[in-house]
Structure 1
Amino acid sequence: MLPSVSLLPSPGGVRDCLRLRGLPYTATIEDILAFLGEYTHDIRPHGVHMVVNQQGRPSGDCFIQMRSAERAFSASQRVHKQVMSGPGQAGKRGVNSRYVEVFPCSAEEMGLVLMGGSLSHTHIHTHTRTRSGTGLSPPP
């Protein structure tokens, strides 16, 4: 007897994106690229999206579009709950240091949040948000 295998895609589609949660509010694109280290080369062009709140301030979240689900998963395993320091504190734990949660997610989940919805571990919520983040490409 063959094992049962679902041929349907998992809810949310291919998980080839990363969600970073708990970033220092002062974190820049460059800080995020440094945090990801070797995985920076796996980011799609214009694939870094900072999330802002209703007042236009950083929310501490970021989405990153990766070149494959495998690299997204690998990056999440490597940097999940690592410490990100504030600007000018590379490798040091200072006042602005934060443990960053890193999760694989789908482009659909990313789009939902960037368009004003929110995600929890069990539900998808929609609400109005006045602005979303911008996509910038990593340096060459």
Structure 2
Amino acid sequence: MSLNKKQIGTIIFILIIVMVSLAIIKTIPKMFMNEDTAQISMTEEKAEPQMIKNVEKILGEFPLDERHNIEAILNKSVELINMPTSTPNEMAALSPDTEYIPSDSFALSKLNGLLNMDHTFFSDDQVIEYASELDALNIAVADQIQCAE
């Protein structure tokens, strides 16, 4: 089957129309977004892989044998922040597998932000800062346990 010039021209014309139509359809939602909404959607698309790297970087700051403790602390932070200030015995009853963490800790509330990362973006400097605050928090927890005993 041989195509003449008119048929080839018609096929190319139809392909151009389809491509232009697809481009227009793709840009219509962006036309109705205000600038803030467009910026947020672009930031969320770019931030999620970066946030995963940031959490991995936090865990990478600690020796392998301590990482499971750090993950347990991160997983329990929501419960601990929402609780009133508790004694070490009450906290041990809540989660015997983790150390006592004061519920009113500022560092812990910032770590809670890492759990709710879908709306928050952390820079590398902030991640390193939070990791060092977590280390300081662990030292403070050990001191509180010694004082309570």
TM-score, length of structure 1 as denominator length: 0.27
Q: Which has the higher contact order (CA 8 A, sep 6+)?
A: 1
TM-score, length of structure 2 as denominator length: 0.26
Write 1 or 2 for the structure with the bigger share of helix: 2
Write 1 or 2 for the structure with the bigger share of strand: 1
